[in-house]
C-alpha cells in the first residue's frame, strides 16, 4: 500500500464535446451525446473525464471564448443534462474535470461588455486597455491589440480578437474567478484543466517584446503567487478528492517542479509541450521538421527524471490542439496502423505519470488529408493560411503544414460505427467525418480482444493493479537506438522491462545491448530478446528475472 494520491494510478479521458457524439441531429456534438455513450468510457475503464468547454460561448474558438462561466451553451444542451452527466459518471466511479479558461473571456462576456462601455466603468481595469499597442503578435496571427472605437483605446487579446485577456493584477478579477470555481466544485465537479494558466501573470507595465513575447507573458512574475492563492481560496480542504492540471506551454522542468511540488500547493500536474514541439522548426509549429526517435525518448526521459523526487508528470500524445498520435509519432499506413497505435500506447502508459487519452485515440484514429481550405474549420489554421499566402507563401506549402499540424486533425467526429456519418450524427456534421471510418470505428473494436481499444483498456487496468507501473522509478535504456524504445521501471524488488519497436523492421537485441541495465537482478535473462513490440501483444512486458543466465 502507498499513500500516493489517487490520480497516480488514474487515467484521464478527454472529451471535445463538439466532436464526440450528437444527440439532436444538428451536426454538433452535445451533452446528450456524451450521456448516451457513457458505456464506452466505462468499458475503457478510465477514472476521469476532462470535458472541453461547454459553457455559453459565441464559439469563435470552439468554446475557448466563454461569455458565461456558469451557464451551459444551449447548443450543447440544458443545465439538467450537465447534472445528469455528473451523476452518470459518478455512478460509474468516474470523476469529471471541467476546462477552466480564465486567461481570457469572450468579448461577449458581461465583464467585458461593462469594461468596454466607458473608461471609468468599475470593470475597466478587469482587462488590459492602452492608448498605444505594443509590438506583440497573437497566437492566432496579427497584432494582440484591437482598437475599440467607443472609448478610443486598444484592448489586449493574446488569442483571437474575441478573446480579450483578463487582468489578473486586479484582485477583484481573481476573487470573481475563485468564487466561480467554488460554485463548480459545489455543483459536483472534481477538478479543473486550466487553459494556458501560465499566461495569467504578465510583466507589468506591458512593454514591447522585440520578438520575445514569451519573456513578457509566460510564467510571469506573480504566477506562483496566483496559483497558490487559487489553491488556498478554492481547493484547500477538499484537494484530496480533486485533480488539477495546468496547461503550461513553454514551461521547463525546473518550473514544473515548482508548479507541482505538493508542498507548494499550486497544481497537481502540468501539461508541458517539449515533446510536441520536437517536430517544429525555429519558425514555429507550421515549420515542419522530421522527428527523431532518440530525441523524443530523451525528452520524455528528462521529464521522468526531473519530476522523480518532487512533483508529477502528465503523459499525453494527443489533445484537441494536436495532430493524431498514430499519424504523427507512429505509422498510419493501413497495414501498420493498429500495431503502431498499440505500441505508442504501450510506451506512453508505461511511463510514470498520469496518462491522458484524447477521444478517438483509443480507436487509433488518424489525421485527415484535408483537400482544400474549404475543409478547414479552425480559426488558427484559417488565419495562418490567410496571413501566409498574403505574405507570399506557396498555398500548397501552407496546406501541407496544415495537413500535418492543423488542429482540425483532432476535431473530426469520433468514429462510432460504419453507418452514415460514422454514427456521430443523423444530420450534417459541422466538420467532415474522416473517410476511413468504415475501417476505423468503435463498433468494430470494443468486442475484439486484439483491437486498439482493448489494448488501451488493458493498459488502463494495469495502472490500477500494478504499483510498479504507477509509481516505479524510470530509467531509459539504449538512448541512441534509432527504432527501439527501451526502459526499465523499478519498485523495490520488482522490475519491469519495456521494449518497443517503433519501426517496420524486426529488431534483435542481445544481452550485451542491454548490459548497461546493471544493478541487482540485471537482465542477464535471455540471450536474445526479440523485441517485436509492434505485434502489440500483452502490454505487460515479460519478466526476465526468472530466466537469468547461468
Ligand atoms: O495549439 C496551439 C498552437 O497550435 C497552442 O499554441 C495552443 O493555442 C495553446 O496550447 C493554448 O491552447 C489552449 O488555449 C487556446 C485554445 O485555442 C486551445 O484550444 C486551448 O487548448 C485559447 O484558449
Rounded to the nearest integer, the mean pLDDT of the chain is 93
In this prediction, residue 1 carries a pLDDT of: 54
The count of domains in the chain is 5
* Burial of residue 91, with CB atoms counted within 10 A of its CB: 0-12 exposed, 13-18 middle, 19 or more buried: exposed
Residues 325, 364: one domain? yes
Mark which of 266, 292, 312 sits at the end of a domain: 312
Domain containing 133: what range? 110-156
Question: CA torsion, points 427, 429, 430, 432, in degrees to nearest 10?
Answer: -150
- Which residues face 269 on adjacent strands? 245
Contact 431, 424 (CB under 8 A): no
Nearest Cα residue to atom 1 of ligand 1: 321
Cα separation, 191 vs 209, whole angstroms: 34
Q: Which of 64, 214, 280 to mutate to test the pocket of ligand 1 (most atoms within 8 A of CB)?
A: 64
CATH of the domain at 420: 3.20.20.80
The pLDDT, as a whole number, for residue 494 is 86
Residues with CB under 6 A from ligand 1: 61, 64, 101, 139, 159, 195-196, 247, 249, 285, 320-321, 380, 407
CA quadruple 173, 178, 183, 189: dihedral positive or negative? Answer: positive
Quick one: pLDDT at residue 547?
A: 34
Mean pLDDT of all residues in 505-530: 59
Asked if pLDDT for residue 71 goes beyond 50, the answer is: yes
Domain membership flag for residue 105: no
Is the omega angle on the peptide bond into residue 278 within 30 degrees of 0, that is, cis?
no
2 lies in a domain? no
Q: Give me the active site residues, please.
A: 195, 247
Residue 163 lies in a domain: no
Cα distance between residue 366 and residue 504, in whole Å? 18
For 162-174, what is each residue's pLDDT tens digit? 999 999 999 999 9
> Is the domain of 390 the same as that of 285?
no
Residues 6 or more apart whose CB falls under 8 angstroms from that of 179 comprise none
For residue 538, name the pLDDT band (cuts at 50, 70, 90). very low
- Which residues, 6+ apart, have CB-to-CB distance to 254 below 8 Å? 306
Same domain, yes or no: 390 and 443: no
401 within a domain of the structure (yes/no) = yes
**Residues paired with 503 in a beta bridge:** none
Quick check: is 86 in a domain?
Answer: yes
Residue 231 pLDDT exceeds 90:
yes
Q: How far apart are CA 190 and CA 463, in angstroms?
A: 20
ipTM exceeding 0.90? yes
DSSP state of 22: -
Which three cell numbers mark 302? 528528462
Q: How many angstroms separate the alpha carbon of residue 441 from the centre of ligand 1?
A: 27
Does the pLDDT at position 533 exceed 70?
no
Rounded to whole angstroms, the maximal C-alpha distance in the chain is 84
Asked whether residue 101 is domain-assigned, the answer is no
- Note whether 395 and 401 are within 8 A (CB): no
247 Cα–ligand 1 center, Å: 9
Q: Evaluate whether 298 touches 380 at the Cβ level (below 8 Å).
A: no
> What's the CATH code of the domain at 134?
3.90.400.10
C-alpha span between 297 and 311 (Å, rounded): 20
- Rounded CA-CA distance 540/536 in Å is 11
Q: Are 340 and 534 in contact (CB under 8 A)?
A: yes
Are residues 175 and 294 both part of a single domain? Answer: yes
pLDDT tens track for 13-22:
999 999 999 9
Q: Is residue 100 part of a domain?
A: no
In a domain, 259, yes or no: yes
439 and 374 inside one domain:
no
Q: What would the pLDDT profile of 105-126 be if each residue is shown by its tens digit?
A: 999 999 999 999 999 999 999 9
415 and 365 in contact (C-beta within 8 Å)?
A: yes
Whether 335 and 381 share a structural domain = no
Say if CB 476 and CB 465 are below 8 A apart: no
Pocket perturbation via mutation, ligand 1, pick of 50, 196, 283 by most ligand atoms within 8 A of CB? 196
Whether residues 175 and 251 fall in one domain: yes
Q: What is the pTM of this model?
A: 0.94
Report CA(191)–ligand 1 centroid distance (Å): 20
Quick count: other Cβ atoms within 10 Å of Cβ 489? 23
Cα(329) to centroid(ligand 1), Å: 20
Q: What is the pLDDT of residue 265?
A: 98
- Out of 266, 295, 312, a domain closes at 312
Same domain, 441 and 333: yes
Specify whether 41 is located in the same domain as 80: yes
pLDDT in tens, 426-471: 999 999 999 999 999 999 999 999 999 999 999 999 999 999 999 9
Residue 395's nearest CA partner among 377, 374, 366, 411 is 374
Beta strands at 153-156 and 129-130: parallel, antiparallel or unpaired: antiparallel
Alpha-carbon span 97 to 193, nearest angstrom? 7
Please, what is the Cα angle at 381 between 376 and 386, to 5 degrees? 100
- If asked whether residues 375 and 433 sit together in one domain, one would say no
Backbone angles phi, psi at 123, to 5 degrees: -95, 10
Looking at the fold, whether 361 and 377 belong to one and the same domain comes out as no
Total residues found in the chain within this entry: 550
Distances (CA, A) of 201 to 45, 245, 264, 270, 449: 37, 17, 18, 16, 48
Give SS3 for 477. Answer: strand
Write the DSSP string, 289-308.
----HHHHHHHHHHHHHHTS
By the 8 A CB rule, do 305 and 395 touch?
no
Whether residues 388 and 400 fall in one domain = yes
472 Rama class: left (phi>0) / alpha (psi -120 to 50) / beta? beta
Give yes or no for residue 529 having a pLDDT over 80: no
Amino acid at each position: 500500500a502507498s499513500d500516493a494520491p489517487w490520480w497516480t494510478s488514474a487515467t484521464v479521458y478527454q472529451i471535445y464535446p463538439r466532436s464526440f457524439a450528437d444527440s439532436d441531429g444538428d451536426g454538433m456534438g452535445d451533452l446528450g451525446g456524451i450521456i448516451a455513450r457513457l458505456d464506452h468510457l466505462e468499458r475503457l475503464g478510465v477514472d476521469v473525464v476532462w470535458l472541453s468547454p461547454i459553457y455559453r460561448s459565441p464559439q469563435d474558438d470552439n468554446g475557448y471564448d466563454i461569455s458565461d462561466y456558469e451557464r451551459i451553451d444551449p447548443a450543447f444542451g440544458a443545465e439538467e443534462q450537465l447534472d445528469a452527466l455528473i451523476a452518470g459518471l459518478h455512478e460509474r466511479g468516474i470523476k469529471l474535470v471541467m476546462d477552466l479558461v480564465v486567461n481570457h473571456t469572450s468579448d461577449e462576456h458581461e465583464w467585458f461588455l461593462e469594461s468596454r462601455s466607458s473608461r471609468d466603468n468599475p470593470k475597466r481595469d478587469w482587462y488590459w486597455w492602452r492608448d498605444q499597442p505594443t509590438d506583440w503578435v497573437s497566437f492566432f496571427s496579427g497584432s494582440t491589440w484591437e482598437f475599440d472605437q467607443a472609448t478610443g483605446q486598444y484592448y489586449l487579446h493574446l488569442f483571437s480578437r474575441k478573446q480579450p485577456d483578463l487582468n489578473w493584477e486586479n484582485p477583484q478579477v481573481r476573487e470573481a474567478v475563485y468564487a466561480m470555481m467554488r460554485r463548480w466544485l459545489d455543483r459536483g465537479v472534481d477538478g479543473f484543466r486550466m487553459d494556458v494558466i501560465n499566461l495569467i501573470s504578465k510583466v507589468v507595465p506591458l512593454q514591447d517584446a522585440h520578438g520575445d513575447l514569451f519573456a513578457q507573458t509566460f510564467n510571469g512574475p506573480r504566477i506562483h503567487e496566483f496559483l497558490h492563492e487559487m489553491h488556498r481560496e478554492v481547493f484547500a480542504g477538499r484537494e484530496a478528492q480533486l485533480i488539477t492540471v495546468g496547461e503550461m506551454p513553454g514551461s521547463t522542468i525546473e518550473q514544473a517542479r515548482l508548479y507541482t511540488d505538493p508542498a507548494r500547493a499550486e497544481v497537481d500536474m502540468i501539461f508541458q509541450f517539449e515533446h510536441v514541439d520536437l517536430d517544429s522548426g525555429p519558425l514555429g509549429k507550421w515549420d515542419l521538421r522530421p522527428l527523431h526517435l532518440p530525441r523524443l525518448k530523451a525528452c520524455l526521459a528528462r521529464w521522468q527524471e526531473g519530476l522523480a523526487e518532487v512533483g508529477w508528470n502528465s503523459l499525453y500524445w494527443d489533445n484537441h490542439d494536436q495532430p493524431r498520435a498514430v499519424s504523427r509519432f507512429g505509422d498510419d499506413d493501413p497495414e501498420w496502423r493498429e500495431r503502431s497505435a498499440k505500441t505508442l500506447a504501450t510506451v506512453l502508459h508505461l511511463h510514470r505519470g498520469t496518462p491522458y487519452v484524447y477521444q478517438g485515440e483509443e480507436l487509433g484514429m488518424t489525421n485527415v488529408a484535408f483537400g482544400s481550405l474549404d475543409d478547414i474549420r479552425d480559426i488558427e489554421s484559417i488565419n495562418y493560411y490567410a496571413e501566409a499566402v498574403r505574405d507570399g507563401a506557396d498555398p500548397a506549402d501552407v496546406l501541407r503544414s496544415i495537413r500535418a499540424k492543423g488542429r482540425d486533425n483532432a476535431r473530426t467526429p469520433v468514429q462510432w460505427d460504419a453507418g452514415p456519418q460514422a454514427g456521430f450524427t443523423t444530420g450534417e456534421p459541422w466538420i467532415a467525418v474522416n473517410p476511413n471510418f468504415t475501417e476505423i470505428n468503435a463498433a468494430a473494436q470494443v468486442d475484439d480482444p486484439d483491437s486498439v481499444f482493448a489494448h488501451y483498456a488493458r493498459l488502463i487496468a494495469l495502472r490500477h493493479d500494478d504499483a510498479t507501473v504507477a509509481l516505479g522509478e524510470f530509467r531509459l535504456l539504449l538512448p541512441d537506438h534509432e527504432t527501439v524504445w527501451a526502459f526499465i521501471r523499478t519498485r523495490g524488488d520488482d522490475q519491469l522491462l519495456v521494449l518497443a519497436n517503433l519501426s517496420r523492421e524486426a529488431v534483435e537485441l542481445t544481452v550485451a545491448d542491454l548490459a548497461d541495465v546493471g544493478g541487482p537482478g540485471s537482465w542477464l535473462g535471455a540471450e536474445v530478446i526479440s523485441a517485436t513490440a509492434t505485434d502489440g501483444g500483452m502490454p505487460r512486458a515479460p519478466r526476465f528475472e526468472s530466466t537469468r543466465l547461468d
